[in-house]
Structure 1
Amino acid sequence: MDRHINVRFFDRELNFIGELDAYAGLEFISRWTRYGEFKIFVYGIDQKQMQKGHYIMLDNDRRKTGIIKRIQNGDDQDIPAELDGFTLAHLLTQRITYPPAGRAYHEFNAPAEDIICALVRANAADTADPRRSIPLLEVQASQGRGDRIHYQTRYDKLEDAVQELCEASGLGIAVELDPDRKKLVFLVLEGVDRSSRQTERPPMIFNVDYDNVTNREYVSDISEYKNCAITAGQGEGADRKIVVVGNEAEGVDRYELFVDARDLEDESQLPDRGKVSLAEYASVDSYSSTVDAGQYQTKWDLGDIVATIDREYGVDMDERVVEVTEAFDENGYTVSPTFGTAQKTILEKVQDVGKNEPIIEGIKGDAGDPGSQGEPGPQGISLQYRWQGTQLGVKREDEASYQYTDLQGPRGEQGEQGIQGLPGKPPAVSFRINEEGHLIMSEEVDDT
């Protein structure tokens, strides 16, 4: 299909700064429950427009937007420069989930959409600490969609928490760029049921026999599939509370998963924790193909449930469109949707390692018997002391002489002269010479 799309550029304040209509190639991947990505290949870098942290928009589509994260350029003029980035939902990867002040966890018992909106608002858009708020980001009001579930989180990756809730509820997310109000708008999405089993609207059927499907690839994978969650709450040993979700599975078709939920104080929340965990380990039934590009966003869209039939591959399923890849190159414009469960990337598989491994419980056993007496230690050495004036001498018993330390401090400086004392009393005895020349002594009586 022949179609051309212009790339519009915006700065960090969402001011429009330019447009690109000539490029060597472009690939834009949209995903339902998490962020997507894009690549733009250009000959020559416009330094004003093409900067890390700047935003892009395909034509005027507010959901086909992203943020530039990487620029690669070189000396070879025959090789185009490359701009790489992610859709705006990638902003959620920059935050973790803080519990409210004074509480150990952020806890919910609400519809999935309410929880998603509350988490994004509290940790990215309208945070208690203004430094955590992402400028220009706002959250569209929740419509209360999705099943009511118990959920709690504490210092988890915000993007992971949102994806968990989306996969458990079937909801999707997006962040739109609103250039008129200069806002980034987070919103929760609900796809349209266009499957063959519903009767409210015409079904959307992808079928090789209808000539609307080419370049097919089908993957059916249960290598990481789990359908029975052994969900363990608080307590130790035999006293630990255990709830089994999916206990009806049996025999070789039973795939068990241990879920450590000791953080949950309310036992009634254990089943919901198990269900959310199992959603991360669903079987992969993925059908990818190139389809009629003209029908995209007119007869079906990302997140819709559609019918897929491929008799050669044995495919006959009603599944959700979980990913759409749009490509613009010398061959024109192509659209390649993925139906069912998208395969995990290598990075996602690495991050999942140990995610639900059980924590080894320390169980206190009975006291053991006393151990045997140890070997005698080496003979100790005594210390001897001697005074010599103000000096203290110390030596080990195996030494010949004492080491002396004078404990008397140095003489201080002479202090200042004190104040004059009170006058003394007159003498109690007085002397005088009488008329005859004799010395006479007399005592004075103190009448005081």
Structure 2
Amino acid sequence: MDLYIYNKALALQNVMDTYGSLRWVRRYTECGEFELHCPFTVDNIRLLAQDNIIRKKDSDEVGFIEYRNVKRDETDRENLIVKGKLGEGYLNRRIVWGREILNTTYELALRTLVDKNCINPTDTTRIINTLILGDIGNFTGNINFQVSYQNLLKVVEALCLEAELGNRIRFDKTLKKLKFEIFQGLDRTSSQTVNPQCIFSKEFDNILDQEYTDSIMDYRNVALVGGIGEDADRRLLTVGSGTGLERFEAFNDQKGISNMVDNVEMAEAEYSALLSSKGNETLAETKKVQTFENGVNLNSNLRYKVDFDLGDIVTCMSKKWGITIDSRINEIEEVYEESGKEVNIVFGKEMPRTIAQKIKLL
């Protein structure tokens, strides 16, 4: 896999076709990452400079270099290890400067936050010159949201998790710009007929092994959100429902959310909507975990980036165990080595990464 190396102004520096290994991790709601191992040479250390940009020949996704390390291996050869984030990681260099109150769709809220803090900020020193907004997808789903002085990437990731939307930054080779986009995976489950179905099952001979996990260890379905005020005067709002042992509670402290805008007090319903959005964030992060872990045979009927891709919702089933679940592809790890290409998939945004469902494509 050839690697195109650009400087931070997106001017092509060279093409790299010889390296030890490349690990390229794509994520749906969170920022991806990469790690490149190659021989240490003067040319390589110059080419792979900090903030230079890497693009794979077969993709318009990019990553930028943040970390370099030179070390000797067991054969006394010097190797260069390069790490960095995928394009969305540029948002990690910005905060939400000031207070934003957004009552709109999730997609427009996300685009507004990126535009005001990276593309058209009041302070021109904050502009990222290579970044533009991509095409709008007109995705449904509304939010009433308030945020101030938080890391922009973390805010974007939290909103995407809640809305079940993906975010990415892709290289537009014609415009020589990086495009920030919101996208949504396809529904490829067995219960729909709009898109080609994608079903992982041992009975279909497209998986090699299978493991099932069902967990409520971190589950919460009721969030008590605390807003402004103290003690008996504190504004409290409950989001979610449950009774008896089916009720799992959490507290979200949002005392910093003000009910004043330009010295004018918000209507009660408007402030309650802001608190409600924070409760929904909590519940989005603490869902039940129900996953399959499968080893997938790519010599079967399922083709990567054709029959399934990042963000798609697919069906995993075991007739023997009597289990069928629909789960989103939340992470895809591509590994390129001298021995060939390997792809590993993580299913399910609900899963804590410690017990995330991993699928190895062989």
TM-score tier by shorter-chain length is 0.7 to 0.9
Distance 1:186 1:228, change over 3 A: same
Please name the residue that 1:73 is paired with.
Answer: 70
Distance 1:29 1:35, change over 3 A: same
Task: Classify the secondary structure of the residue corresponding to 1:47.
Answer: helix
Distance 1:124 1:270, change over 3 A: same
Give the Cα separation in 2 of the matches to 1:80 and 1:291. Answer: 32
Please name the residue that 1:291 is paired with.
Answer: 296
Displacement of 1:140 after TM fit?
1.9
Superimposed CA distance per residue, residues 22-52 of structure 1 (whole angstroms, 9 cap, x where no aligned partner)? 2222211100011111112212341332111
Give the Cα separation in 1 of the matches to 2:70 and 2:33. Answer: 19
Please name the residue that 2:83 is paired with.
Answer: 84
Letter in 1 for 2:56: L
2:243 paired with 1:250: yes
Query: Greater relative contact order (Cα 8 A, min sep 6): structure 1 or 2?
Result: 2
Match for 1:39 among 26, 35, 49? 35
2:294 paired with 1:301: no
2:7 paired with 1:11: yes
TM-score of the superposed pair, with normalisation by structure 1: 0.70
Superimposed CA distance per residue, residues 184-204 of structure 1 (whole angstroms, 9 cap, x where no aligned partner)? 111001111111111112211
Displacement of 1:226 after TM fit?
1.3
Superimposed CA distance per residue, residues 262-285 of structure 1 (whole angstroms, 9 cap, x where no aligned partner)? 314222333222112211222333
Superimposed CA distance per residue, residues 243-293 of structure 1 (whole angstroms, 9 cap, x where no aligned partner)? 21112x122221111122331422233322211221122233344444345
Distance 1:74 1:241, change over 3 A: closer
Match for 1:170 among 156, 164, 189? 164
Please name the residue that 1:440 is paired with.
Answer: none
Give the Cα separation in 2 of the matches to 1:9 and 1:215. Answer: 38
TM-score of the superposed pair, with normalisation by structure 2: 0.85
Higher strand fraction: Structure 1 or Structure 2? 2
Higher helix fraction: Structure 1 or Structure 2? 2
Distance 1:15 1:339, change over 3 A: same
Given that 1:112 and 1:144 are in contact with CA atoms closer than 8 Å, whether structure 2 keeps it comes out as: no
Please name the residue that 2:277 is paired with.
Answer: 272
* 1:125-164 equivalence runs, <5 A: 125-164=119-158
Give the Cα separation in 1 of the matches to 2:350 and 2:240. Answer: 23
Superimposed CA distance per residue, residues 168-194 of structure 1 (whole angstroms, 9 cap, x where no aligned partner)? 111100001223322111100111111
Larger radius of gyration: 1
Q: Give the percent of matched residue pairs that are identical in Structure 1 and Structure 2.
A: 28
Please name the residue that 2:344 is paired with.
Answer: 336
2:295 paired with 1:322: no
Displacement of 1:341 after TM fit?
2.5
Give the Cα separation in 1 of the matches to 2:124 and 2:186. Answer: 37
Given that 1:191 and 1:302 are in contact with CA atoms closer than 8 Å, whether structure 2 keeps it comes out as: yes
Q: How many residues align?
A: 335
Given that 2:187 and 2:314 are in contact with CA atoms closer than 8 Å, whether structure 1 keeps it comes out as: yes
Q: CA RMSD in A?
A: 2.2
Displacement of 1:153 after TM fit?
0.3
